[in-house]
Amino acid sequence: MKFILSLVGTLLFSFSLSAADSACQPQLFKSLKLVYEDTFDAGTINTEFWEVRQNTTWSVKGGVLHGSESSKEFQAKKKASNDPSHAGLKPVIWLKKVPENFVCAMRVRYDAKAHQKGFPLLDLGHHIHTLSFGEKATTLTIKKDVEKLAVEKPLFALNQWHDVVIELKKGAILLQIDGVKHVFESRNIDMTGQAQIDFKAVDFGTCQIDHIRLWEGS
């Protein structure tokens, strides 16, 4: 019986990855070279590709990468210093070794309770291309204040899983959430000198990543 359940689980997981692959036919590139993939089944965080930030709490549970806030002691110490903005109220983690031209496909969710304010985001490059997910719009902010582009769709809702695909090359970002796509175009889009994607959740909320794949595009 255990073997049958294990086999069914494997088949379902393989189907999930195959579905993700089929949805990830690149639009901005002709070919892809796999850089990194992780299903987190090993139960550990690959520190060659991940860097935990702001002393937040990250671990792998049941094949899923889980992130939550830092300890109350760390928060109190930071709030008493001249750096309260990095107190680790929200889970933050960096995916490293991201190519200048890339495709990243992942299954991810951000959780927050109704009283918790703010919206989660993804930084493509550190504070370079910030994708902020709101209730009514998804906003791309480039280099903090150089340019801001907002669209009604695709939307990323809290407290549920989403299949996300991001493609980036100079001049364009394709964002796909659960099959809904939008291409942001701007001469200011450029990952030169950048090599990371930052995951940032809502204050006192959580982040979960089920699986992730990263390619270099050409």
pLDDT at 16: 39
Q: Which two tokens stand for residue 66?
A: 């889980």
Domain count, the chain: 1
pLDDT tens for 141-198 read 999 999 999 999 999 999 999 999 999 999 999 999 999 999 999 999 999 999 999 9
- Alpha helix (H) ranges present in the chain? 2-23, 72-80
**Reported pTM:** 0.86
Residue 1 within a domain:
no
Q: Give the integer Cα–Cα distance in Å for 27 and 136.
A: 26
Q: What are phi and psi of 9, to 5 degrees?
A: -60, -40
pLDDT at 65: 98
CB 19 within 8 A of CB 200: no
pLDDT tens for 26-37 read 999 999 999 999
pLDDT tens for 84-132 read 778 888 999 999 999 999 999 999 999 998 778 788 999 999 999 999 9
Q: Which one, of 95, 109, 89, 100, lies nearest residue 38 by Cα?
A: 95
- CATH for 152: 2.60.120.200
Residue 11 within a domain:
no
Contacts of 159 (CB under 8 A, 6+ apart): 109, 110, 111, 112
Residue 177 within a domain:
yes
Residue 22 within a domain:
no
Residue 19 within a domain:
no
Residue 16 within a domain:
no
Residue 137: give the domain boundaries: 27-217
pLDDT tens for 54-72 read 999 999 999 999 999 999 9
Element (H, E) at 216: strand 206-217
Residue 10 within a domain:
no
Residue 2 within a domain:
no
pLDDT band at 24 (very low <50, low <70, confident <90, very high): low
